[in-house]
Structure 1
Amino acid sequence: MARAIAIILARIIFSFIFFMAAGFKFAGIGTTADYIAAAGFPMATFLAWIAAFFEIALALAFITGAFFTEASLLAGIYVIFLAFAFHGPSHWQQSQAEIGFFIDHFTFLAGLLFAAVHGPEKWALRHSLLR
Structure 2
Amino acid sequence: MGRTAAILAARLIFAGVFAMAAGFKFAGMPDTAAYIAAAGFPVPLLLAWLAAIFEVALVLAFLTGAFFSEAALLGGIYVIFLAFAFHGPSHWEGNQAEFGFFVDHFTFLAGLLYAWAHGPGERLAIRRGVLAQA
Residue of structure 2 in register with 1:69 after alignment: 69
SS at match of 1:11: helix
> Partners in 2 of 1:107 and 1:23 — Cα distance?
22
Asked if residue 83 in structure 1 is aligned to residue 83 in structure 2, the reply is yes
Residue of structure 1 in register with 2:32 after alignment: 32
How many residue pairs match? The answer is 131
Residue of structure 2 in register with 1:47 after alignment: 47
Deviation at 1:97, TM superposition (A): 0.2
* Runs (4+) off by over 2 Å: none
Deviation at 1:130, TM superposition (A): 1.2
Residue of structure 2 in register with 1:128 after alignment: 129
> Partners in 1 of 2:7 and 2:43 — Cα distance?
37
Greater displacement, 113-122 / 26-35: 113-122
Residue of structure 2 in register with 1:18 after alignment: 18
State the Cα deviation string for residues 55-107 of structure 1 (Å, max 9, x = none).
00001100111000000000000000000000000000120000000000000
> Partners in 2 of 1:95 and 1:111 — Cα distance?
26
TM-score (norm 2): 0.97
> Partners in 1 of 2:105 and 2:131 — Cα distance?
25
Residue of structure 2 in register with 1:106 after alignment: 106
SS at match of 1:63: helix
TM-score (norm 1): 0.99
Deviation at 1:123, TM superposition (A): 1.3
> Partners in 2 of 1:45 and 1:117 — Cα distance?
34
Deviation at 1:41, TM superposition (A): 0.0
> Partners in 2 of 1:15 and 1:94 — Cα distance?
32
Q: Where does the alignment leave 5 or more consecutive residues of structure 1 unmatched? A: none
